[in-house]
Structure 1
Amino acid sequence: MKPKNSLNPALVVERALAIVDTEGLDGLTVRKVADAFGVTPMALYWHFANKEALLAAVGDAVVSSLRIPDEDLPLEDYLREAMTSLVDVMRAHPSASPLVAQQIMQAEVGRDLTERFLDKLSLAGFDVERSAAVAHYTLQIAMTLVSREPGAELAFKPELRQEELDRKRAMLESLPEDRYPRLRAAADAMIECANTDEYYADGIAIFVAGVMADAKTLAEA
C-alpha cells in the first residue's frame, strides 16, 4: 500500500477515475479509494466533503482534456472539431461520460468551448434558443454515441460483456428468416462495431450535416 503521506487531491481523483474506468460509476466508493492508499475513508474527507464532491472532481479531470477548436474555422469544421473533442474525452473514459455533462459548465475549458460554439452558431443566424438547443444536442449525442457504442455494453462488467453480446446475437439469429431477413443478416453489425473510428466519424458527420442543413435554411430565409 502507498504511504499515507502520499495522499493528495490529484492522486485521489486519479485513483477514483481508474475505478470508474474499470467498474463504472456505481462501482466507485470512498472506501475503495481509501483502501488503495491504505487509509480510512475519513482521511479522504479532508480533501472531498463527500462522494458527490469526489465525483465532481473526477468529472472536472475528464473535462479538462477538452480541446477548443480554432475559432477561425468555418462553421462546419468547427462543429465537427467541437463534437470530436467531446467524443474523444468520453471515449477515453466512457463510464465517466455522464460526469462530463454534469461538470462541463463548471470548468473553464468547458465554458470557453460552449461560449465559442454558441458564438459560431449566432454568426450563422441561429437565435439564442436554437443555439442553446444545438449545444445541448451536441453534448447529448456525443454521450449517446459513447455510452451506446455497439459492443461496449458499459452496463456490464468486462467479464460479463461477451456473454451479453452472445445472448443478443443468438436472439437476433433466432428470429424468423421470412419476417426478419435483414436483422438476421445484420446480427453481428447490430451488436458490435467492426470499426469504432468509422462508427464515431459517421455519427459526428450525420450530426454536423443536420446542423448545416439548418444553417443553410436560415441563410436562405
Structure 2
Amino acid sequence: MNPDVVVATALRIVDEQGLDALTVRRVADEFGVTPMALYWHFSNKEALLDAVGDAVVAGLALPDPALDLEAYLGEAMTSLVDVLRSHPHATPLVPARLLLTEAGRELTECTLDKLVGAGFPIDKASAVAHYALMIALTLVVGEPGAETSVKPDERDEAHEAKLALLLSLSDDRYPRLRAAAPSMVVCGDSDDYYETAIEIFVKGVMTQVSPDSAG
C-alpha cells in the first residue's frame, strides 16, 4: 500500500459511488487495514481529498503552446472537459487544486499568456480563464441525463418525472419546450453537447480580440 495506490482507490470509489461515499474508513476497508494505517500517508480526510483532486488535474493534456489563441483555447477547454468527464463526481475538488498542481499551473499560465498576447488586459484575461473553468465544471455536472446532483440509482426515476412534467405542459403555449423535452432530460449526443459548448465559448472570446492583435 503506497500513496499512489491509495489515491487511485479513493478516486475509484468517488467515480463509482460519489464524493460523499469517500471516507478514510471506506478506503481502509479496501485494503483490509484499519483507518490508522492510512494516516501514515494522509493526515486526515481533507488531505486525501486534496490528493484525489490533484490526481484528476494531473490528467490534463497540455495543448501545443505554438497554437494561436483560438486553437489553443479550444484544445485547453477540451482537455479540461475531458478530465472532468472522466471523473464527474470529483469535479468539486478541481477548482481549489487547479493552481496547486503543475499541469494546472502550466495550462493556466499559457492560457493567460495567449490572452494577453491577443490584447486582453491581465485582469480580463484572468476573468476569461475563470469563465473557462466554471463553464467546463457546469457542463459536466449538469450534462442532461448524467447530472452529478442525482444519484445514479435514482436517475431513471428522476428522468421519467422530469420528462412527464415537460410533456404535461400546454402544447399551445410551450410547443418548443415540449418538442425539446427528451433532449433536455437526456443528452442524445454527449460529444456534440461538449463540442458545441466549447465552440460557442471560444467564438465568444474571439469576438473580444481586436483585429490588430488577432495574430
Name the TM tier (shorter chain).
Answer: over 0.9
1:13-58, Cα deviation, whole Å (9 max, x unpaired):
0111011111111111111101111111111111101111000000
Correspondence for 1:83: 77
User: Whole-Å Cα distance in 1 between the matches of residues 212 and 186 of structure 2?
Assistant: 38
Q: With structure 2 as the length reference, what TM-score do the two structures score?
A: 0.96
Correspondence for 1:191: 185
1:132-182, Cα deviation, whole Å (9 max, x unpaired):
001100111010111110110212222211111111000001112221111
- Amino acid in the other structure paired with 1:161: R
User: Whole-Å Cα distance in 2 between the matches of residues 130 and 87 of structure 1?
Assistant: 22
User: Whole-Å Cα distance in 1 between the matches of residues 16 and 178 of structure 2?
Assistant: 32
Correspondence for 2:156: 162
Quote the offset at 1:60 in angstroms: 0.7
Cα distance change of structure 1 residues 192 and 216 upon mapping to structure 2, 3 Å threshold? farther
How many residues are matched?
A: 214
Correspondence for 1:51: 45
- Amino acid in the other structure paired with 2:196: D
User: Whole-Å Cα distance in 2 between the matches of residues 156 and 135 of structure 1?
Assistant: 28
Structure 1's consecutive aligned runs of 4 or more residues displaced over 6 angstroms after TM superposition are none
Structure 1 gap segments, 5+ residues each:
1-6
For residue 201 of structure 2, the aligned residue among 196, 207, 210 is 207
Does residue 31 of structure 1 match 2:15?
A: no
Correspondence for 1:127: 121
For residue 97 of structure 2, the aligned residue among 94, 103, 109 is 103
User: Whole-Å Cα distance in 1 between the matches of residues 158 and 184 of structure 2?
Assistant: 13
Correspondence for 1:115: 109
- Amino acid in the other structure paired with 1:173: L
CA contact (8 A) 1:34 1:43 kept: yes
User: Whole-Å Cα distance in 2 between the matches of residues 39 and 124 of structure 1?
Assistant: 54
Percent identity between the two aligned chains: 60
Structure 2 gap segments, 5+ residues each:
none
Q: With structure 1 as the length reference, what TM-score do the two structures score?
A: 0.94
Greater displacement, 137-146 / 21-30: 21-30
Correspondence for 1:41: 35
Greater displacement, 146-155 / 211-220: 211-220
1:60-115, Cα deviation, whole Å (9 max, x unpaired):
11111101111111110000000001000000001111212121111011111111
